[in-house]
Amino acid sequence: MTEEYSPGKLLQLARGFMESRILLSAAELNLFTLLREAPMEARDIAQRTGTDLRALTALVDALAAMGLVAKTEAGYFCPPGVARWLGEDSPETVLPMVHHMAGLWPRWSRLTAIVKGHPPAKEKLDMARNTAELRAFIGAMHSIGTPLAARIVAAVDAGTARTLLDVGGGSGTYTIAFLRAVPEMRSTLFDLPAVIEMARERLSEEGVLERTTLVAGNFHHDDFPGGHDLALISAIIHSNSPEENLNLYRRVFRALKPGGRILIRDHVMSPDRTRPRDGAIFAINMLVGTSGGGTYTFGEIEAGLESAGFAGIRLLCEGDQMDAVVEARRPQSRNAKA
């Protein structure tokens, strides 16, 4: 059903970028960390951040109006309920994810040009250029993803599976969830070299490192170790073209034992591509940031998996927030294509 829009609501939607930009700029200036210790006057904040006093004052006043900072006679400060999520050193911080969104701003600003046929910018996001940023980003993804991972693992039902291949597994969010749910299971976590070292630390802290084999590589083209009866591709296929996904599925197929299962967690779109809403919007994020990525319908995912040799393909979980799961099996027959 089409949503009813009034002129006021349309204009509110049109100016939604304004509050977003205020938050992003405050994050880039690290104001939420600076203001969490004690109230500061605008001139002191401007001096500490190397900013223009008039402009800085307008920014922190807007933040106060939005409820992201508090303004008192003693100055501006960041309330604990905000600092918990946006303070630099908070264990629960999502600040690296906000920085990631700020990095997407120039790409989204080119949307009209891209729709007119101009290709996305050629620059690549090099998260490894700054180890501290990469570590914080991976940490934020783990913090955000842990509750979802537990829910996904419970819905999957590992059954008799005892060997997991975690493709692009980050610092081990899903490996940890699976190993906690199935004490007899072992995992192979595959990711870039810099990420593998972060996984080593986290898995050691969680007490499951001895049950995990860490393999460094690039999932875009490297082969995976074989002999697994369960493989997870989590939040990956949206960044690939259909051809890249087919190549990925084929390499996962070869890494599975006959009868083994592949699990794909991502947005799974309705046939008309309008639901879930977050998935349709995320497709634009892929449009402006990749050469061939997007969000896919179940039919498209199914076709790719079938071409790679998988059978028994089904939508295991539906979801609105990149929490849908597609499952398929490598057939028992030795004649199945790889």
State how far the Cα of 119 lies from the Cα of 108, in Å rounded to an integer: 13
Q: Which domains does the chain have, with CATH numbers?
A: 7-98 (1.10.10.10), 127-329 (3.40.50.150)
State how far the Cα of 176 lies from the Cα of 234, in Å rounded to an integer: 14
Q: What is the pTM of this model?
A: 0.92
Q: Is 65 helix (H, G, I), strand (E, B) or coil?
A: helix
pLDDT of residue 136: 76
Q: Where are the alpha helices (DSSP H) in 127-276?
A: 131-156, 173-181, 193-205, 242-255
**Tokens (6 digits) for 26:** 């405050």
pLDDT of 268 > 50? The answer is yes
Q: Token pair 């910018």 is at which residue?
A: 121
pLDDT of residue 335: 57
Alpha-carbon distance values, 38 to 32, 83, 266 (Å): 11, 12, 42
Average pLDDT, the chain: 94
Cα three-residue angle 90-128-238, rounded to 5 degrees: 90
pLDDT of residue 336: 55
Q: Tens digit of pLDDT for each residue in 185-239?
A: 999 999 999 999 999 999 999 999 999 999 999 999 999 999 999 999 999 999 9
Query: DSSP of 245-312, one letter per residue?
Result: HHHHHHHHHHHEEEEEEEEEEE-EE-TTS--SHHHHHHHHHHHHH-SS---EEHHHHHHHHHHHT-EE
Alpha-carbon distance values, 235 to 42, 177, 300 (Å): 42, 16, 16
pLDDT of residue 34: 98
The end-to-end CA distance of the chain, in Å, is: 43
Quick one: average pLDDT of 287-311?
Answer: 97
Alpha-carbon distance values, 214 to 37, 139, 145, 168, 170 (Å): 40, 18, 20, 11, 11
Quick one: average pLDDT of 270-280?
Answer: 97
In sequence order, the 6+-apart residues with CB closer than 8 A to the CB of 221 are 247
Pair 214, 196: CB distance under 8 Å: yes
State how far the Cα of 54 lies from the Cα of 43, in Å rounded to an integer: 9
